[in-house]
């Protein structure tokens, strides 16, 4: 069995650990030895997360095999990719209530919520780059300073931040037409700029005008010009952006067109 000892004065752990309202485990007394025998089986967020110009608030969630009523403490680790410039001078161990955003740029709170963002040095270069992340949990025994508590082990994952996108100003030149008439749409695809904390227009090759007929549930891409189509049935239109290795996918609002 392994144990945790606080290091480098980085942390004062939350008194109740992650035992808040079902976010991790239900609050209540637990036998330390029994809890130490359980394991971490998963964590979120992982994989890809689209982040806007000013960051994205997410909630860390931990899946375990621990019995209901267990109380645990945990910390989350995130490290910049080696090829991305950053402001971190060391890998930051971020505890459940340790709040710092300038080193790893993850702001952690006692309820597991934190904000994903890029740093001033990394900027847009962080987009699409795999970030090594991990989580370690410990039994909350109530020990002074939360030192030497039994470990539940760790769980590692890879997180990739994508620049969020959006479609603004989506409009049609007419919304009631005769069958066979052409409709012209306008719209503006924008992508988050992490260096200026703003949305910037960009020209992508992944935009599609999509149509969903009245009564249908499936969207289909229309052939030809993305902003000009021939209407043959009533239904909804939208612009869909596929996303790419650096940018998240997005949809515009929908516009209904009636065909007489």
Q: What is the DSSP string of 37-91?
A: T--EEEEES-EEEEE-TT-EEEE-EEEE-PPTT--EEEEEEEE--TTS--S-SS-
Q: Are residues 174 and 112 in the same domain?
A: no
Q: Which residue has the higher pLDDT, 30 or 27?
A: 30
Share of the chain above pLDDT 90, in %: 38
Task: Please answer whether residues 30 and 37 qualify as being in contact, where contact means their C-beta atoms are separated by less than 8 angstroms.
Answer: no
Q: Are residues 192 and 103 in the same domain?
A: no
Domain limit, last residue, from 163, 190, 225: 163
User: Tens of pLDDT along 66-86?
Assistant: 766 666 666 777 777 888 887
Determine the distance from the C-alpha atom of residue 17 to the mean position of all C-alpha atoms in its chain, rounded to a whole number.
23
Domain limit, last residue, from 144, 163, 182: 163
Residue 149 has pLDDT above 60, yes or no: yes
pLDDT at 112: 57
Q: Are residues 26 and 129 in the same domain?
A: yes
DSSP one-letter code for 34: H
Burial class, 27, CB count within 10 angstroms (exposed 0-12 / middle 13-18 / buried 19+): middle
Share of the chain above pLDDT 70, in %: 66
Q: Are residues 28 and 134 in the same domain?
A: yes
Question: What is the C-alpha to C-alpha distance for residues 190 and 164, in angstroms, rounded to an integer?
Answer: 9
Residue 37 has pLDDT above 70, yes or no: no
Q: Are residues 151 and 246 in the same domain?
A: no
Burial class, 193, CB count within 10 angstroms (exposed 0-12 / middle 13-18 / buried 19+): middle
Residue 36: pLDDT band with limits 50, 70, 90: low
| Range 118-156 burial, b when 16+ CB lie within 10 A, else e | bbeebbbbbbbbebebbbbbbbbbeeeebeebbebebbe
Q: Which residue range forms the structural domain that includes residue 250?
A: 165-259
Q: Are residues 22 and 150 in the same domain?
A: yes
pLDDT at 218: 97
CATH of the domain at 82: 2.60.40.10
Q: Are residues 207 and 251 in the same domain?
A: yes
Q: Are residues 54 and 158 in the same domain?
A: yes
Into how many domains does the chain fold?
2
Tokens of 4: 């945790």
Average pLDDT, the chain: 74
Tokens of 5: 């000892």
Q: Are residues 133 and 123 in the same domain?
A: yes
Q: Are residues 145 and 28 in the same domain?
A: yes
Task: Please answer whether residues 15 and 146 qualify as being in contact, where contact means their C-beta atoms are separated by less than 8 angstroms.
Answer: no
User: Tens of pLDDT along 201-247?
Assistant: 988 788 999 999 999 999 999 988 888 999 999 999 999 999 999 99
Phi-psi region of 87 (alpha: psi -120 to 50; beta: other; left: phi over 0): alpha
Domain limit, last residue, from 113, 133, 163: 163
Q: Are residues 30 and 43 in the same domain?
A: yes
Q: Are residues 186 and 154 in the same domain?
A: no
Residues β-bridged to residue 188: 168
Task: Please answer whether residues 78 and 106 qualify as being in contact, where contact means their C-beta atoms are separated by less than 8 angstroms.
Answer: yes
Preceding peptide of 16 cis, ω within 30°: no
pTM above 0.85, yes or no: no
């Amino acid at each position: 069995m392994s144990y945790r000892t606080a290091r480098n004065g980085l942390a004062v752990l939350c008194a109740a650990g992650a035992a808040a309202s079902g976010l991790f485990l239900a609050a209540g007394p637990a036998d330390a030895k029994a809890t130490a025998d359980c394991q971490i089986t998963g964590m979120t967020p992982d994989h890809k997360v689209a982040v806007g110009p000013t960051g994205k608030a997410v909630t860390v969630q931990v899946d375990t095999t621990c019995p209901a009523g267990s109380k645990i403490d945990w910390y989350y680790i995130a490290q910049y990719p080696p090829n991305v410039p950053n402001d971190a001078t060391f890998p930051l161990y971020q505890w459940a209530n340790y709040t710092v955003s300038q080193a790893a740029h993850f702001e952690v709170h006692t309820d597991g919520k934190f904000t994903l963002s890029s740093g001033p040095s990394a900027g847009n270069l962080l987009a699409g780059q795999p970030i090594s992340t991990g989580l370690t949990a410990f039994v909350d025994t109530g020990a002074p300073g939360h030192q030497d508590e039994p470990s539940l082990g760790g769980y590692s994952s890879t997180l990739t931040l994508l620049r969020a996108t959006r479609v603004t100003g989506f409009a049609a030149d007419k919304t009631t037409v005769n069958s066979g008439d052409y409709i012209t749409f306008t719209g503006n695809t924008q992508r988050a700029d992490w260096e200026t904390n703003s949305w910037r227009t960009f020209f992508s090759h992944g935009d599609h005008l999509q149509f969903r007929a009245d009564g249908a549930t499936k969207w289909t891409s229309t052939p030809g010009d993305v902003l000009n189509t021939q209407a043959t049935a009533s239904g909804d239109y939208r612009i869909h952006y596929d996303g790419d290795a650096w940018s998240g996918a997005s949809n515009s609002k929908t516009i209904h067109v009636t065909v007489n």
